[in-house]
Structure 1
């Protein structure tokens, strides 16, 4: 592993709001110019475009409604292109994609499918990268557009495709790395292709993940994620206005934050970077001068309390059975049933005659996870089953929490007027989690932030 980081390339990823319009894209170009090691740029679709494409993919029956969406798509992209001195080539590239898209949107109006949806939603990134490449060229930068589908190989699980890491690495070394020697390469986030050449997507939020996969494949020295917030905050500033940006944070802390619902990074994003100790920077493309957060393997300071994360739409399942009392094998039976129905468990606490667990948020829609009907029926043959919704999870994230005496008193005193439904602590030295009614969640975060961070 020691000789892994052989290239001096930096990878920069820009989110949808960072490439929303001409001014936003120009700020991205300046950020790229200011770091000569940035040789690979991963771009999302322009802000708002993916939502319009998702609408088309779901099937718009009325041709007039479809035309209205196409007018909007054209307006978003043309309003950037009209600032160029050479407009024709880029307009043609966008028109070609829109023409293919029109045929797919019509097909979706008859019958939608996951495969067709991936082809449709990928068009946003395909268009934005044509535009960003031309903008760079007009600023005198040697830029070239690259179709990432030639490198980012995945399986055929449309909508949430799994990357084939060895193949991505081999293809990147062959096709991408040589280009980065001579050009600034502009490519797409979020999309890939399967072995048959079908377009696939990595799921919502997947452009951060694909940027990390690409950074890993070209053996990058760093990965920058440019978004609309200046780094990772101690908590959501909309809940606690005095929340502050964190200058640097360890991979393990950042992974905990992502896992527990901090919106800043897709939970899987960090994995490829973590595998090869590639430092990740998170900053605001709107205000790059404000700095941001570095996520590193090792950090200078590791405070007891680092951040608070909130995850809404939690589902708690409580299983009660007198047969549990002083017997063995009950939990094994429970988990065998959950495994059979592919139910992933997040938190768990047990008592003599009952076990409470929360279901892992695996769907990307953000809705509360459900216990499958058949799984519930099987569990009910074993014990009494109770399912509760409208719950939220608050996670206090920090370092060596299990080694520090007395801090729990501080935490629970702050929460004395909150009804805590479940507490999880001890499995990780990095977090203390509690489940509570959703209507109390923001108040709990606010109070904890005031007591522990301000």
Structure 2
């Protein structure tokens, strides 16, 4: 049993759809579940629909038209005008319009999940229909009938026992199965979504429940690199990584694989392969149990637009457990993700990600009880398996504001250039 996951970049246009169908033919189409994301930037387009709908702007019709035109233009390049796929897509778009017209809920996260799911439904319908057209038998199914969750919209928790039972009993694993990533359903059949890297997680869920031989995530890069090529001029492909190392890298912010995807695979020791859909003949990266990093070289992770905060007591007394516990509670309340911690006798420093734009409220809440120094828009560099040359290369990038070192990991906060 094999699980393949294709992200939005791999189905961004008609030629991309043809490419992944060729990959499937080359890799073999039996005993395979294929998990597919929304096409290209369509998730972003649906978020614009959600914004226009939720905020009652007059742009809703225009935003919906962008999505319809994108899919219809792509289909025109793949299908004859009388192909039944056009009717299937019209039905899906009709279901979306029905929800927009009939919904009365004001809960943003609920509304978000009911709308965003159509990106995956549209993409998988089109890929499945094209496979059928070129003679590749396949079974399209709605993943919401298989993966069951609680009702934590936008970050749902999987009901593993029920999901395992449904997948084991209902899925014909002998076929090529096409389904959606990222989305699921709760016990009232409302759509839920699985949060960050949700499509990768979907692949992990199916692999766990089906005791798969492996999972392959197909990307537009050769595999897992030791640094982001958008930031570093020179990068190296990592041919193998352990689960533990991948989780460490993800914790520090690397766009490797999210830990929640790795956990079910690690529990059953199912290897994860990261391969290129551009050069599918290349082996890519293998993530598995207990292997050494290969090659063993420094790995660089960058988080930009961070905020460095130093907090001390107004009377310069020691920063003890009570103070730190209180501060962490506030960081949690304001959804401020902590990426580095350093404390001394009288001060406590954190480098944080202000993803939800709650920092100013956090600052105003604490400023009457603590002395707070703030430096915004800093860059946090993390280096796993650092050496002297790696440290020097980071220090040359700017003025160092804070530095922390342990056995395997170096973190440096730099003023942003």
Q: TM-score range, shorter-chain basis?
A: 0.7 to 0.9
The 8 Å contact of residues 21 and 76 in structure 1, kept in 2 or not, is answered as: no
Partner of residue 50, structure 2: 57
Residues 197-276 of structure 1: pairs in structure 2 closer than 5 A:
197-276=189-268
Partner of residue 287, structure 2: 295
In 1, the alpha carbon distance for the partners of 2:388 and 2:34 equals 44
SS of the residue corresponding to residue 308 of structure 1 reads strand
Residues 48-197 of structure 1: pairs in structure 2 closer than 5 A:
48-60=41-53, 61=56, 65-82=59-76, 83-84=78-79, 87-106=82-101, 113-176=108-171, 179-181=172-174, 183-197=175-189
The 8 Å contact of residues 305 and 396 in structure 1, kept in 2 or not, is answered as: no
SS of the residue corresponding to residue 59 of structure 1 reads helix
2:375 corresponds to 1:370:
no
Kindly state the Cα deviation for residue 381 of structure 1 after the two structures are TM-superposed: 5.5
In 1, the alpha carbon distance for the partners of 2:319 and 2:377 equals 33
Kindly state the Cα deviation for residue 127 of structure 1 after the two structures are TM-superposed: 1.1
Q: 1:306 to 1:216 in 2, by over 3 A?
A: farther
Kindly state the Cα deviation for residue 139 of structure 1 after the two structures are TM-superposed: 2.7
SS of the residue corresponding to residue 270 of structure 1 reads helix
The 8 Å contact of residues 334 and 358 in structure 2, kept in 1 or not, is answered as: no
SS of the residue corresponding to residue 238 of structure 1 reads coil
In 2, the alpha carbon distance for the partners of 1:410 and 1:264 equals 20
Counterpart pick for 2:301 among 295, 309, 318: 309
Partner of residue 437, structure 1: 415
Q: 1:119 to 1:301 in 2, by over 3 A?
A: closer
> How many corresponding residue pairs?
412
The 8 Å contact of residues 59 and 110 in structure 1, kept in 2 or not, is answered as: no
Q: 1:255 to 1:244 in 2, by over 3 A?
A: same
Q: 1:173 to 1:411 in 2, by over 3 A?
A: same
When the two chains are superposed, the root-mean-square deviation of aligned CA atoms in Å is 3.0
Partner of residue 269, structure 2: 277
SS of the residue corresponding to residue 281 of structure 2 reads helix
2:391 corresponds to 1:411:
yes
The 8 Å contact of residues 246 and 256 in structure 2, kept in 1 or not, is answered as: no
Counterpart pick for 1:422 among 361, 379, 402: 402
2:342 corresponds to 1:384:
no
The 8 Å contact of residues 380 and 414 in structure 2, kept in 1 or not, is answered as: yes
Partner of residue 364, structure 1: none
Partner of residue 355, structure 1: 348
The 8 Å contact of residues 252 and 339 in structure 2, kept in 1 or not, is answered as: no
SS of the residue corresponding to residue 135 of structure 1 reads helix
In 1, the alpha carbon distance for the partners of 2:98 and 2:15 equals 32
Q: For residues 87-131 of structure 1, what are the alpha-carbon distances to aligned partners after superposition, in whole Å with 9 as ceiling and x for unaligned?
A: 532111110011121233456899673212211110011111111
In 1, the alpha carbon distance for the partners of 2:249 and 2:63 equals 36
Gaps of 5+ in 2: none
- The two structures have a TM-score, normalised by structure 1, of 0.81
The 8 Å contact of residues 258 and 265 in structure 1, kept in 2 or not, is answered as: yes
The 8 Å contact of residues 3 and 214 in structure 2, kept in 1 or not, is answered as: yes
Kindly state the Cα deviation for residue 409 of structure 1 after the two structures are TM-superposed: 7.9
- Worse overlay, 292-301 or 348-357: 292-301
2:388 corresponds to 1:394:
no
- Worse overlay, 114-123 or 259-268: 259-268
- Worse overlay, 266-275 or 281-290: 266-275
Q: 1:261 to 1:325 in 2, by over 3 A?
A: closer
The 8 Å contact of residues 183 and 194 in structure 2, kept in 1 or not, is answered as: yes
The 8 Å contact of residues 381 and 394 in structure 2, kept in 1 or not, is answered as: no
Kindly state the Cα deviation for residue 133 of structure 1 after the two structures are TM-superposed: 1.1
Partner of residue 35, structure 2: 42
- Worse overlay, 98-107 or 36-45: 98-107
In 2, the alpha carbon distance for the partners of 1:233 and 1:247 equals 9
- Worse overlay, 348-357 or 35-44: 35-44
Gaps of 5+ in 1: 1-8, 362-366, 402-406, 440-454
The 8 Å contact of residues 314 and 369 in structure 1, kept in 2 or not, is answered as: no
